Structure formats: C-alpha cells, structure tokens
A and B are shown apart, each in its own frame.
Chain A
Amino acid sequence: MEALIAKLKNEIIEVLNLTEMAPESIDENEPLFVEGLGLDSIDALELIVLLERNYGLKIATAEEGKTVLKSVRSMAEFIKKNNKG
C-alpha cells in the first residue's frame, strides 16, 4: 500500500502540474480538495482520467467519486480493491 501511495503521489504531481511540490510534502491522509492540496473541479476530472488511464478503473457515480477522491490514501485503497492488473 505504501508503495502504491508513493507512486500515486508522483502521478498526481505529474498530471496536475504541481511541479513546485515534492511527493513527501503531500499528506496522503489530508483532503485533496478545498483544504490540503486545494484542488478544483478540473483537477477532479484529471484524477478520474488518471484512474482510468493508468489503472483501468472507472468511478461509477458522483457519490463514489466523493469517497474515492477524498485523499491520496482513499484513491490508493480504491485502486488496491479494484485493480485487476
């Protein structure tokens, strides 16, 4: 799980162009939106694309999206639970 979290942090930095940010400065338990990284709705779409492109996973509903995209850890848990690769 920790390796997946580390990988995910790097992928998030890359797709969201958070080039000023080091992976270790992202707290995997902090909220991604509003607080924490302060991401916006476009970033949310980008994270959804990331899950689909890199892990073949789709978020089925808006409610599921809220749960999955809550934090880096919740994204990693979603990947671990659903990734068939």
Chain B
Amino acid sequence: MMEEKYIISDYCIIRNNRIVLNGEVVYTGNEGSPGEFFTAAYRYFNITYAKFFKMDNLCKLGFLASELLLRGKNIGEVYPGDKVGILLSNAGSSIDTDRNHQKSISKSDEYFPSPSVFVYTLANIVIGEICIRHKLFGESFFMIEKEFDAKRLYEQVKQWLDEEIVRCCITGWVEIDNDRYEAVMYFIQKTPDLEEGIAIFGPEKLTDIYLLGK
C-alpha cells in the first residue's frame, strides 16, 4: 500500500502591502491603511462578496488570503464540506477590533456599542467567514500563540489528516494590530490526490515559507 504523504499545495503571504501567491508577487499596493489595502486588493482580484465590506480587518485579511489560496479550486466540489479543516493562529487574537469596540463604550454618555463591530471581537470569526464563503463545516480551531509556531500547526493538521478527520486543511497565521498586519496561509492536501505541490508538508517548510520576504 502506498504511503500517503501530505503536501503544501499552495500558500499565500500578505504583508507590507504585497501579496505573494505560491512564490509569485501577484499584487503590490501603496494604500495608506491596512483596510484600504485589503479593499484595493479585493477589487483588483475582482472578488464579488458583498459581506467583505462588513468584515473587520482581521477577517478581511484572512478572507483575502483564503480567496487567493483557494482560487479556481472549487473546494466545495472537490472535497465534502465536512472534510476540509481550518487551523489558524495569531498572537493578538481580535485585539484590533477589541480596541474599536472599547472606543464605542468608553464614554458613559455616548454608550452606543456597534453590534456589527462587537460580533468580530473573537479571533475565530475569521474561520467562520471562510467557512460561510465556501460552505465548509469540518474541524476548525484558532490558536493564540506568542509567535508563529510551525511545529504546533504541523502537529495538529497532521493529526487531523492521519485520523482522517479531514482530507485537506487550510492553516496558517493571520495577525493584525493597527497598521501591522501579516497573513501566511497554506493549503495542505494528501498525495497522490494532486499531481504537484509546492513542497512536502513539514514544520521546516512551513517556517521557510513564513520567513519569505519577512
């Protein structure tokens, strides 16, 4: 019986007003704020999903990375929705939106918390947005880590794949805090389902890709 291996079939890096997809720079912008950059990229790639504009910046960033990562893959048709896992991580959780929410409730005489801001005061909402977009309902998990931890990502995704809880997985790092943002997202699949991939799935390769252009 052929031993199954797992591959990084695609990756997407978004940081410093630049988007890299599988090693190729696919978009560079000079927009002032992260939100403006994400919106400009959204328009550049002709993505049509009205809910994008309602998302907070963490979700916009994660959504944008996943859109490019899964572009043209018809993931909902290739895999059953309950067999696609998502494991994401960051250091600041939803701190960027938490601050916005805090501002809206800081004055007792102007106490008007915004429901549409409040719903994003959880980091794992970004996973929910990706799941809604692609009708995915497999295993998912959002980890808060001090820093990018390739070993933790690898071990958890490998376990899901080994135990056939999922057949493929979106994983990576999605972080934003004020003007500082960074998304590095990977799509992990089993071979020989795919003819070719970027690399064999392993913590060293995840780290190598994470460090590209950093």
Q: Do B116 and A16 have beta carbons less than 8 Å apart?
A: yes
Q: Residues of B at under 8 Å CB distance from A?
A: 50, 53-54, 112-116, 119
Q: Residue A68 at the B interface, CB < 8 A?
A: no
7 shortest A-B CB distances, which residue pairs? A45-B115, A17-B53, A53-B112, A17-B54, A46-B116, A19-B53, A42-B115
Please classify how large the interface on chain A is, using the bins under 10, 10 to 19, 20 to 34, 35 or more: 10 to 19
Q: Is the CB of B50 within 8 A of A20?
A: yes
Interface residues, chain A, with chain B CB atoms under 8 Å away = 15-20, 42-43, 45-46, 49, 52-53
* Cα–Cα distance between A6 and B88 once the two chains are bound (Å): 43
Sampled A-B contacts (10; CB under 8 Å) = A16-B54, A17-B116, A18-B53, A20-B53, A42-B116, A42-B119, A45-B115, A46-B115, A49-B114, A53-B112
Contacts of A53 in B (CB 8 A): 112
List chain A residues, Cβ under 8 A from B50.
18, 20
Distance, CA A11 to CA B116, complexed state (A): 15
Residue of B at shortest CB range from A43?
A: B116
Q: Which residue of B lies closest to A37 (CB)?
A: B50
- Contact residues in A for B112 (Cβ distance below 8 Å): 49, 52-53
The chain B residue with its CB closest to the CB of A52 is B112
In the bound complex, CA of A20 to CA of B53 (Å): 8
Complex Cα gap A53–B115 (Å):
13
A-side contacts of B53, CB under 8 Å = 17-20
- Chain B residues whose C-beta falls within 8 Å of the C-beta of A18 in the assembled complex: 50, 53
Nearest neighbor of B54 in chain A, beta-carbon distance: A17
Query: Chain B residues near A20 (CB, 8 Å)?
Result: 50, 53
Cβ-closest chain A residue relative to B50: A20
